[in-house]
Structure 1
Amino acid sequence: MKVIVQKFGGTSVSSRSMREKAVMHIEAALEEGYSVVVVVSAMGRIGEPYATDTLLSLVRADDTVSARDMDLLMSCGETISAVIFGSMLRGRGHEVTVLTGAQAGMITSNEFGNARIAKIDPERIVKELKNNHIVVVTGFQGMTHDGETTTLGRGGSDTSATALGVALDAEFIDIFTDVDGIMTADPNIVEGARRLSHLTYTEIANFASQGAKVIHPRAVELAMQKNIPIRVRSTESNDLGTLVTSGMHFLEARPANDKILTGVAHSSRLTQIKVRAKTKRPGFQNLVFRSMAENDISVDFFNVTPEEVVYTVPNNHVSQAVNTLLALDLEVETIANVAKVAAVGAGIHGVPGVMARIVEALTDQDIEILQSADSNTTIWCLVHEADMANALRAIHDKFNL
């Protein structure tokens, strides 16, 4: 049995006309001989009646709603979407089985609102596929070992789709969205951004974690476990979009003069925090990070030296972070409204001069680099948020992306 998993996001199921386009992709896969598992998100975005954020808005800040009850509320959007989508497929003559995350065998941890998938028992799905049914599964939701409904957090439908793809040993996982694929940069900022035909799992994970919101990084990590290819595609096009794989077959075929960078991404609304001990204080670095963890403050982009700890936090956590550090009698300095610009490319590692070109590109635009770091596939620069757009364009142009 040749299985394909097709995930349709909120915009892809938001209206009847969009759902009709989604159905055409399902029927095309059937014609190619695939057994099809469809994963759906809630319909639309905030303001539309059944979107997850709209459901959340029904609960006021002063209402007493437990995390368990909140997951029950949030799971409704996908259930509504799946039933409507299944009905539409039946109206076109297809045999369809609609399953909740729990019915599809999605067993999760107990963290309401941000559960992790513990295991998947695909027996029910396999049975329905063998009966030549299209299986429509609610994304974003699962069930604990003791039967409680859970949701998987932001990007949860992507995670549902890739986890099912791995469990079913799918040929492809198609992520359908409102864009044609992964771009070299945000086209709303960089006019010359173009679509990428191929990406490695590592590249797309770095893109996603740095603000390219086409697919969730957790979903990429799951697909990478079994090397299941992902295609990021547009619901409104028959184009195959961007293919994401381990990348070895196409990386080996790249010509020697191929581009070093794949693209640039960004994340904003950050604050840089610098922390020093007022007097010589061995181990103060451990104190800093432990205090952040104990207060549930996520830290990123950190540099540690014997004299100083530097890192970023989201703007909305700054006051809590600073007050916590001051209570520990530490010196604290902040730079508000900064942004992280990431230059991503599987070809970076071992190539001399990449950082020199990035620095040159930013210096030519009088852009101050507040901090930097690198990995095998990514170089990050922290800049003032006011300089972010120019920084993206400058790097994009410097490397002829």
Structure 2
Amino acid sequence: MRIVVQKFGGTSVATAEAREKVVEKIAAAQEQGFQTVVVVSAMGRKGEPYATDTLIELAHSVCPGISAREMDQIMCCGEIISAVIMAGTLQAAGIDALMLTGGQAGIVTDHNFNNARIQKVEPSRLLYLLKTGKTPVVCGFQGTTTDDEFTTLGRGGSDTTASALGAALNAQMVEIYTDVDGIMTADPRIVNNAKILDMISYGEVCQLAQQGAKVIHPRAVEIAMQKNIPLIVKSTFSDMPGTLITNLSKEDTDGIYVADRVATGVTYMNHIAQIRVSLGDNVACDAAFKVFKAMSDHKISVDLINVLPDWVMFTIPQDLAETATKILEKNGFQVEAVLNCAKVSVVGGGMREVPGVMASFVEALAQHRIPIMQTVDSNASISVLVKQSDLAQAVTALHEQFGLASV
């Protein structure tokens, strides 16, 4: 069997008109000789009646501290409604579709409600349905435990569902349908000459996602990468080819990595606070441990970490700044919280061991008099902390500096 997994996001299934476009994509794949497994997200976005955020608000209106288990039960409802409606739409179009929950499709998870991890996928039922000519429509974002508890996979979990099913079924590809034509070199709302990438490596797209780009869930990419299953991000509403995510060149002959260019994209995260902690007369290593242990104990995730003899600096989401400051002051530290910051990153698998990349990065910001508050880098990315007010100019300057308008 030649299998393709097609995942459709919330905007793709939100209206009758959009669902007709989904039917066209599924029918086109089947006409090309593929057997299709369809994965759907909840219908629409926040404020719409069956969107996940709307269901969350409903539960919180009854009990702000409602348990994670109960929250998962209501959050699963959005995808169930969506899958039933999509299966019905396909049946009306003459396609023999069958709706399945995540658990019915064979997705078994741990008991970590709200952010469960897939432990295994048992594909036998899906394979049987495909062999009998049916089109499974699977609820994304969810699975069940071994004792039949509903669980959800965390935000972006429908991408993870599609990738996990693709890996279990040895699919030819996994198509991620959304409302944009592919992965772009930068946010087009900030950079007016941002381009759609025709191809990007697994590693690069993971970096983009981890650094703030809302392109695809990193866990979905990691699963596909394990079996080298190509991912394609494309639009439900156009015939554009989209962006291919893979390790291989288009020719798929010599195992050539696609990331020959120094930079692939520029992305950002905003509403960040920088926390500066004075270690005073404490032994630096002991004091630094105490700082990060305090954050860990209160489940505050830190980023952009610098440890100096007298200071520790890191960043956190701005809405946690007051809480973090109070915790650290209770532990005897002097703390300064700098609000209204943003993290800007350049990502590219080709920057590894290339001299002058940092110099070019800093030059782009210096030319626009944008102060750098903090830096961190890896083999595939360079990130800086800047003032929120400098965010748009920094993204635009870096996009131009690394020639991303001409990819």
Q: TM-score surpassing 0.5? A: yes
1:210 maps to 2:223? no
Instruction: Map 1:40-59 to 2 at 5 A.
Output: 40-59=40-59
For 2:97, the aligned partner's letter is V
In 1, Cα distance between equivalents of 2:183 and 2:71:
33
Q: Aligned with 1:119: secondary structure?
A: strand
Q: Aligned with 1:193: secondary structure?
A: coil
Contact 1:371–1:382 (Cα < 8 Å) also in 2: yes
Q: Aligned with 2:229: secondary structure?
A: coil
Contact 2:175–2:231 (Cα < 8 Å) also in 1: yes
2:397 to 386, 391, 394: 394
Contact 2:38–2:136 (Cα < 8 Å) also in 1: yes
1:333 maps to 2:340? no
Contact 1:259–1:399 (Cα < 8 Å) also in 2: no
Aligned to 1:323: 326
| C-alpha deviation, 1:85, in angstroms | 0.5
Q: Which string of whole-angstrom CA distances, capped at 9 and with x for unpartnered residues, describes residues 340-361 of structure 1?
A: 1110111101111111111111
Contact 1:199–1:247 (Cα < 8 Å) also in 2: no
For 1:38, the aligned partner's letter is V
Aligned to 2:157: 156
Instruction: Map 1:118-137 to 2 at 5 A.
Output: 118-137=119-138
Aligned to 1:182: 183
In 1, Cα distance between equivalents of 2:342 and 2:220:
24
In 1, Cα distance between equivalents of 2:101 and 2:3:
19
1:288 maps to 2:270? no
Decide whether aligned partners of structure 1 residues 61 and 330 sit closer, same or farther in structure 2, where only a CA change above 3 A counts. Answer: farther
Aligned to 1:303: 306
In 1, Cα distance between equivalents of 2:399 and 2:152:
37
Size of the aligned set, in residue pairs, is 399
Contact 1:143–1:150 (Cα < 8 Å) also in 2: yes
| C-alpha deviation, 1:400, in angstroms | 1.7
Aligned to 2:68: 67
Contact 2:279–2:312 (Cα < 8 Å) also in 1: no
- The more displaced of 37-46 and 246-255 is 246-255
Structure 1 ranges of 4+ moved more than 3 A: 247-255
For 1:58, the aligned partner's letter is L
Q: Aligned with 2:350: secondary structure?
A: coil
1:342 maps to 2:345? yes
Contact 1:144–1:150 (Cα < 8 Å) also in 2: yes
| C-alpha deviation, 1:112, in angstroms | 1.2
| C-alpha deviation, 1:145, in angstroms | 1.2
In 2, Cα distance between equivalents of 1:376 and 1:219:
21
For 1:19, the aligned partner's letter is R
Contact 2:178–2:235 (Cα < 8 Å) also in 1: yes
- The more displaced of 244-253 and 316-325 is 244-253
Decide whether aligned partners of structure 1 residues 254 and 33 sit closer, same or farther in structure 2, where only a CA change above 3 A counts. Answer: closer
Aligned to 1:260: 262
For 2:11, the aligned partner's letter is T
In 2, Cα distance between equivalents of 1:248 and 1:370:
38
1:241 maps to 2:230? no
| C-alpha deviation, 1:66, in angstroms | 2.4
In 1, Cα distance between equivalents of 2:240 and 2:250:
21
Contact 1:278–1:329 (Cα < 8 Å) also in 2: no
Q: Aligned with 1:58: secondary structure?
A: helix
Contact 2:248–2:258 (Cα < 8 Å) also in 1: no
2:367 to 364, 368, 377: 364
Aligned to 2:96: 95
In 2, Cα distance between equivalents of 1:236 and 1:199:
22
Aligned to 1:32: 32
Percentage identity across paired residues of the two chains? 50
| C-alpha deviation, 1:221, in angstroms | 1.2
1:23 maps to 2:28? no
In 2, Cα distance between equivalents of 1:293 and 1:66:
21
Q: Which string of whole-angstrom CA distances, capped at 9 and with x for unpartnered residues, describes residues 335-381 of structure 1?
A: 11111111011110111111111111100101001111111111111
In 1, Cα distance between equivalents of 2:341 and 2:61:
29
Contact 1:177–1:214 (Cα < 8 Å) also in 2: no
Aligned to 2:281: 279
| C-alpha deviation, 1:181, in angstroms | 0.3
In 2, Cα distance between equivalents of 1:337 and 1:98:
45
Q: Which string of whole-angstrom CA distances, capped at 9 and with x for unpartnered residues, describes residues 221-260 of structure 1?
A: 11111111100000011222000002466794879xx742
Q: Aligned with 1:75: secondary structure?
A: helix
Q: Which string of whole-angstrom CA distances, capped at 9 and with x for unpartnered residues, describes residues 22-76 of structure 1?
A: 1111111101111100000010001111111111222244626322111111111
In 2, Cα distance between equivalents of 1:185 and 1:133:
40
> Normalising by the residue count of structure 1, what TM-score does the alignment of the two structures yield?
0.96
For 2:142, the aligned partner's letter is Q
For 1:179, the aligned partner's letter is V
| C-alpha deviation, 1:97, in angstroms | 1.7
| C-alpha deviation, 1:271, in angstroms | 0.5
In 1, Cα distance between equivalents of 2:155 and 2:48:
18
- The more displaced of 239-248 and 260-269 is 239-248
Decide whether aligned partners of structure 1 residues 254 and 199 sit closer, same or farther in structure 2, where only a CA change above 3 A counts. Answer: closer
| Structure 1: tracts of 5 or more residues without a match | none
Q: Which string of whole-angstrom CA distances, capped at 9 and with x for unpartnered residues, describes residues 84-111 of structure 1?
A: 1111111111111211001011111111
Q: Which string of whole-angstrom CA distances, capped at 9 and with x for unpartnered residues, describes residues 160-194 of structure 1?
A: 11111111111111000000000000000001101
| Structure 2: tracts of 5 or more residues without a match | none
